[in-house]
Amino acid sequence: MEEKEFQISPFLVFYLVHSVQLGVGVFGFQRTIMKSAGNDAWIAVIGGGIAVSIIIWVMYLLLNKHQKDLIQIHRDLFGKWIGGLLSLIWIIYWLMIGIVVLRSYIEIVQVWLFPMINIIMFSIILLVLVYYCVTGGFRIVTGISFLGVVIPFYIFLTFLFPIEYTHFRNLLPIWNHSMKDLTISTKDMMLSYLGFSTLLIYYPYIKHPKKSQKWAQLGNLLTGVIYLFIIIITICYFSENQVSRHTWATLSMWKIVELPFVERFEYIGITSWVLIILPNICLSVWAATKGIQKIFNINLKKVVVITVVILLILLCSTVAIEGRENIEMLNKYMSLLGLYLVFVYIPLLTLLSLLLSKIRRGNVEKA
């Protein structure tokens, strides 16, 4: 475990889990899950939230048993070389999260606000903020996550505007899709919850970490409630055909928001959303940096160099990826990697850890 001066209170895990789950995916997750489940997509949102809740519980089983982060657990179970290789896969995944969030947000800014925006300059400005936060340490990253939840929370009140135009009968008939369709939709929805796996690396930074599980579960619950509210409003506001034609259905609903001081609220919403995506990038960059530091036992003074290299990788990747097709392809590969790592690998690793522990205990008793 880390020294107490670097640790955070257990309740702050609520903000760390929730902030990293809620990113640019909120803008367009409706089209993906309604493709299979139609007006029953809200069931997939609930199913995805429950699946994530179970995985968080499994993660805590693993982490509470070892009282270490994932990098050290890999080393204990598989040795230096194989454990290091497995840890590198996770680092690549966390890096991909940062790239996907940054590039997807820039695409939205390009399409909705400034088509001629200089991607390089915009990326550099954002990444300078990320550098400041990450080099400040984990407590600073936690603070950004806290602010990223509290300050822009007013944005979600704007989803009340479409209610007067909604037709709740669009939800009927309930459960008119097959289990296969609902399962596919739930799988697609689980991808929108990804990001909480950073818990595996910052676990040693939590005071009394066993007490933090309820806060992690509550953070996931808040994410699920927000997704559920948005999907219900979307189903009742649009027809299924309309949703299939909207890449960012959430932004389309903002078009009807009318306030005395602003004509087009989507301008305010998209610019305010930078406070929500900033913790996503900061946490993923911090996790990748910390992972590399622990794998190669790098001195703390050289961590700044690692951070700069990672941010340069993010910058180059963001500039190199152009076009909607390439961005969607990157999202697809990142999502698939995350799905297998979080929902398949982590339960298997936990099971293996419990079995090895039982075998070793049996050998000790025999001796």
Inform me whether the pLDDT recorded for 364 exceeds 70: no
Whether the model clears a pTM of 0.75, i.e. scores above it, the answer is yes
What is the rounded CA–CA span in Å between residue 87 and residue 91?
Answer: 6
Looking at every residue in the chain, the average pLDDT score rounds to: 89
Task: Tell me the per-residue pLDDT of 185-237, one tens digit each, with 9 for 90 and over.
Answer: 888 888 788 889 999 999 999 999 999 999 999 999 999 999 999 999 999 99
Helix (H) or strand (E) holding 249: helix 249-254
- What whole-number distance in Å separates Cα of residue 60 and Cα of residue 199? 9
Instruction: Specify the pLDDT at position 241.
Output: 85
- pLDDT of residue 79 exceeding 80: yes
Q: For residue 366, what pLDDT band results from cuts at 50, 70 and 90?
A: low
Least confident of 72-86, 105-119, 232-246, 250-264: 250-264
Q: How far is CA 123 from CA 131, 267, 281, 329, in A?
A: 12, 19, 12, 20
Percentages helix, strand, coil for the chain (3-state, rounded to 5) are 85, 0, 15
User: 167-187: per-residue pLDDT in tens?
Assistant: 888 888 888 888 899 999 888
Our CA angle for 310, 313, 314, nearest 5°, is: 90
